Amino acid sequence: MLGNRLERYIAGNVLNSILLIMLIIILLASLFSLVDQFDSFKNNYGINQALYYVLLSTPRRLYDNLPMASLVGSLIGLGMMASRSELTIMRAAGMSTGRIVYAVLKPIFIIMIACVLLGEFIVPITQNKAQAYKELAQSSNIDKKILTQILLKGTWHRQGNEYIRINSVQPDGLIGINIYYIKDQKLIYTTYAKQANFEKNQWYLTDATTTCLHDDHTSVVKEESEAWLSPTNVCDIKDLSMPKPITITLDLLNTINSDPSYLSISGLWDYIHYLQAQELNNDNYWLKFWEKLLQPINTLALVILAISFIFGPLRSVTMGQRIFIGIAIGFIFKIVNDLLGPASIVFNFPPLLAAMAPSLICIIIGVYLINRKR
């Protein structure tokens, strides 16, 4: 009975410290993000819109900083108990080191589950909404004729022999579409459309201009609205396959257009196999897939390392020193992760190894130090 109460006391102290550190990190990160938005102010994108963008981006910052908050929060929560000699008294009363570790890990398991749910179901949605909202606010007063000239990035998609560039993916459709149909290393036609909308299970191009390249001449066909078929049926060119409706979806385009770090695990899995089917390189997405899948394990590894330090080298240092050391360890962990990931692609070793190695090292060191103090 007493042991259960002590476990709840330890878990409560650690969880409260983690939540406090998480709140501080989120507030600071949000403030820096808001300041960073000042350079993006134009048209209808002002301070109110920037605040809304920062708010929509908060789940992403929460997800990114959970391992660091768990590390520093565990160091502070356990460190305060060590400074008051509470851990020493508990051990003298018969509570084993293993049981103390288990009590600390109870709230960490909850945080790990929350991390998975956040990354899988919330971050991809809120981050896409934030980016779409910002783009729309910045371009809402600009004529669509010149909209495609100011967007800084586009999305490339390949389907069969068609190579498609989309200037902007919006929640209700696409803006600025360039289509290049290449067969036997020869450009057959090009199409430019101002926008595309999905209606009645079919994509429709608006204000589409198609340039057909025949053997001895070219022709231009303009359509106010036409079904998006691959290949197009407006060019009277021989030896083309029968036209079929384009099969891309907004979900797929949002996946292509998103930073791989903020895609869901299932979204990364689907896109990896899409790239594989298109015979395109997917190494970077495999790396992000393993990093995202192992994110909860990173949190667990850092907390185990924090526990070992409290029982060992950080047993009698000040609170400020613990915070500094916790932040330093977190940054070193992140730097090693950031270096190993690209290195796995450059030097062609498994992305799983690159994603797993830092956590594995932390767990081995942590378990070794804890066992020494038993």
Q: What is the pLDDT of residue 74?
A: 93
Report which residue type is found at 24: I
Residues with Cβ < 8 Å from 207, sequence gap 6 or more?
193, 194, 195, 222, 223, 224
Q: What is the pLDDT of residue 2?
A: 67
Residues with Cβ < 8 Å from 155, sequence gap 6 or more?
165, 166, 167, 169, 253, 256, 257
Q: Is the peptide bond before 342 cis (omega within 30 degrees of 0)?
A: no
Helix, strand or coil for residue 366?
A: helix
Q: What is the pLDDT of residue 46?
A: 87
Question: What are residue 215's phi and psi, to 5 degrees?
Answer: -65, -40
> Are 191 and 178 spatial neighbours (Cβ–Cβ below 8 Å)?
yes
Helix, strand or coil for residue 4?
A: helix
How far from 103 is each of 90, 118, 360, 363, 366, CA to CA, in Å? Answer: 12, 24, 22, 17, 16
Q: 3-state secondary structure string, 121-168?
A: HHHHHHHHHHHHHHHHHHHCCCCHHHHHHHCCCCEEEEECCEEEEEEE
> Are 21 and 76 spatial neighbours (Cβ–Cβ below 8 Å)?
yes
CA dist 193 and 187 (Å) reads 18
Nearest of 113, 60, 56 to residue 259 by alpha carbon: 60
Q: What is the pLDDT of residue 373?
A: 65
Q: What is the pLDDT of residue 148?
A: 43
How is residue 185 annotated by DSSP?
A: T
pLDDT digit string (tens) for the chain, length 374 residues: 667 889 999 999 999 999 999 999 999 999 999 999 988 887 778 899 999 999 999 999 999 999 999 999 999 999 899 888 898 889 888 888 889 999 999 999 999 999 999 999 999 889 888 887 887 777 655 444 444 444 445 678 888 788 998 887 776 788 889 999 998 888 999 999 999 998 888 899 999 999 999 888 899 999 999 999 888 888 887 778 888 888 787 777 777 767 787 788 988 998 898 888 777 788 889 999 999 999 999 999 999 999 988 887 666 677 778 778 888 999 999 999 989 999 998 898 999 999 999 999 999 999 998 887 66
Helix, strand or coil for residue 248?
A: coil
Predicted TM-score (pTM) above 0.85: no
Handedness of CA 82, 26, 123, 336 (dihedral sign): negative
